[in-house]
């Protein structure tokens, strides 16, 4: 329930950043939200003990490459609104809404990863 609330709040902030300021350029970040998990899904899944994002004792080069590409593309979800605001394409209010959406969605993904990588013996 908490994860659904986090995702829906993040997407609502993303949409409000566009609607309230009557500018749809910040929706480019939506492309990054689709692209961010792809390298992690293809290369970064450890499947072993420990936290999936935070690392484990033994990792292959593909796992490291997946984590690097995921982090690199996650920076794009913050950089795109910042570049648009610097170029005066969007307002500062839209930038704040977009960064809040990225923060909420990022926290939701980290929360999911944290609870998903825990030992599920207590269920």
DSSP character for 43? H
Q: Which residues contact 39 (CB under 8 A, 6 or more apart)?
A: 65, 66, 67, 68, 69, 70, 73
Count CB-CB contacts under 10 A for residue 116. Answer: 11
Q: pLDDT (tens digit, 0 to 9) for every residue of the chain, 123 residues total? A: 889 999 999 999 999 999 999 999 999 998 888 888 888 778 755 555 444 555 555 567 777 788 888 888 889 889 999 999 999 999 999 999 999 999 999 899 889 888 887 765 554
DSSP character for 120? G
Q: Is the pTM here over 0.85, yes or no?
A: no
Copy the structure tokens of residue 108.
Answer: 């939701």
């Amino acid at each position: 329930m908490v994860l659904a609330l986090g995702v829906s709040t993040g997407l609502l902030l993303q949409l409000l950043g566009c609607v309230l300021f009557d500018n749809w350029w910040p929706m480019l970040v939506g492309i990054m939200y689709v692209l961010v998990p792809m390298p992690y899904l293809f290369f970064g899944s450890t499947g072993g003990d420990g936290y999936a994002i935070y690392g484990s004792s033994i990792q292959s080069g593909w796992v490291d490459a997946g984590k690097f590409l995921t982090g690199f593309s996650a920076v794009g979800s913050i950089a795109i609104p910042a570049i648009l605001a610097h170029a005066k394409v969007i307002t500062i209010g839209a930038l704040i809404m977009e960064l809040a959406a990225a923060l909420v969605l990022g926290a939701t993904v980290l929360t999911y990863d944290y609870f998903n990588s825990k030992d599920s013996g207590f269920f």
